[in-house]
Homo-oligomer: A and B are copies of this chain.
Amino acid sequence: MTVSIGAKTEVLIEALPWIQQYEEKTFVVKYGGAAMVEEDLRETFAQDVTILKKIGIRMVIVHGGGREITEIAQKLGLSTRFVDGQRYTDEPMMEVVQMVLAGKTNKDIVARINQHDGEAVGLCGLDVHLLKARRQRPRQGDLGLVGEITEVNTEYLELLLGNGIMPVIAPIAVGTEGEVLNVNADIAAGAIASALASEKLVYLSDVPGVMSGTELIHSIDRPMARDLIESGVIGAGMVPKLRSAFNALESGVRKVHMIDGRVKHSLLLEIFTDEGVGTQIVSQPEERP
């Protein structure tokens, strides 16, 4: 494609001011879905986070890994059961979760980013007790070794970020009795972003963003969200995601973004263009900058 001089100038004038604004700021990216599975999307993701890190943004990646866990658990003869959308995790299953998330998924992501010279390091919540959690007690039933995060060791993350290293975090945590706990990756990303008082928390998933019918909402705030949920315009599936986004905003994250991981370089476009390509979620009504 050939881009005209005029178009180039326009894009630069639009993008460059953001760079200064984001320097030394922290972005937490929840990485999952197609972007973590398809070969070319994995590649552009690794490329994008490396570019962002190199222009001075402190990048933190939190990943999921459900598919691979289920696959290997099955091969090892363990059956998977979900309770309210969360994996029931007994001790043998927890061993598999730890092994696959921390040993396979995590290190595969790290290896690919480092092929692009991204200086990533793979971590899980057991390392320097990065993530502490308590057992999650659902009102009904039992989830087994599933936890909710109570504390994030930001000192270690700050050490890495301050030295130009990109942490890639597998969402398992240490419990109050020293037991290993499985934690939800979306929620872990939110807890980490809050603890680091991040500039942005970005959810990469397999939808374009928050939709009003077939139309993408570019920017949404709490009152607007309430109205659209009440009027049924926003589907039930999006409700818990929006709730966790507003929680993060209340805990000190400045903006939450939901973007389409299936679009190549969507991360760059969301960050460096005024209109963005997904939905930005803010506390108060605000114009898209």
A121 to B55, CA, bound (A): 27
A44 to B178, CA, bound (A): 17
A77 cross-chain contacts in B, Cβ below 8 A: 75
Known: A5-B277, A16-B55. A119 touches B128 (CB 8 A): yes
Q: Interface SS of chain A: helix, strand, loop or mixed?
A: helix
Cross-chain contact B99 with A111 (CB below 8 angstroms)? no
A57: min CB distance to chain B, Å: 11
Interface size of A by CB at 8 A reads 63
Asked whether any CB of chain B lies closer than 8 Å to the CB of A187, the reply is no
Which of B16, B55, B129, B269 contacts A8, CB < 8 Å? B269
A1 to B102, CA, bound (A): 43
A120 cross-chain contacts in B, Cβ below 8 A: 127-128
Cross-chain contact B268 with A54 (CB below 8 angstroms)? no
A138 to B275, CA, bound (A): 49
Q: Offer 13 A-B interface pairs, CB within 8 angstroms, sorted by A.
A: A1-B7, A12-B265, A16-B55, A16-B272, A19-B55, A20-B55, A75-B76, A114-B129, A121-B156, A122-B123, A122-B126, A122-B127, A156-B165
A235: min CB distance to chain B, Å: 25
Q: Mark A13-25, 1 if CB is under 8 A from B, else 0.
A: 1011101100100
Which of B102, B111, B119 contacts A103, CB < 8 Å? B102
Enumerate A122-171 residues with CB–CB distance to B below 8 Å.
122-124, 126-129, 156, 159, 163, 165
Nearest-neighbor residue (CB-CB) of A16 within chain B: B51
Q: Which residues of A contact B (CB under 8 A)?
A: 1, 3, 5-13, 15-17, 19-20, 23, 51, 54-56, 72, 75-77, 95, 98-104, 106-107, 110-111, 114-115, 119-124, 126-129, 156, 159, 163, 165, 174, 178, 180, 264-265, 268-269, 272-273, 277
Cross-chain contact A265 with B13 (CB below 8 angstroms)? yes
A174 cross-chain contacts in B, Cβ below 8 A: 111, 114
A172: min CB distance to chain B, Å: 8
Cross-chain contact A10 with B1 (CB below 8 angstroms)? yes
A9 cross-chain contacts in B, Cβ below 8 A: 264-265, 268-269
Nearest-neighbor residue (CB-CB) of A271 within chain B: B12
Known: A269-B12, A277-B5. A99 touches B110 (CB 8 A): no
Cross-chain contact A3 with B13 (CB below 8 angstroms)? no
A165 cross-chain contacts in B, Cβ below 8 A: 128, 156
A7 to B55, CA, bound (A): 21
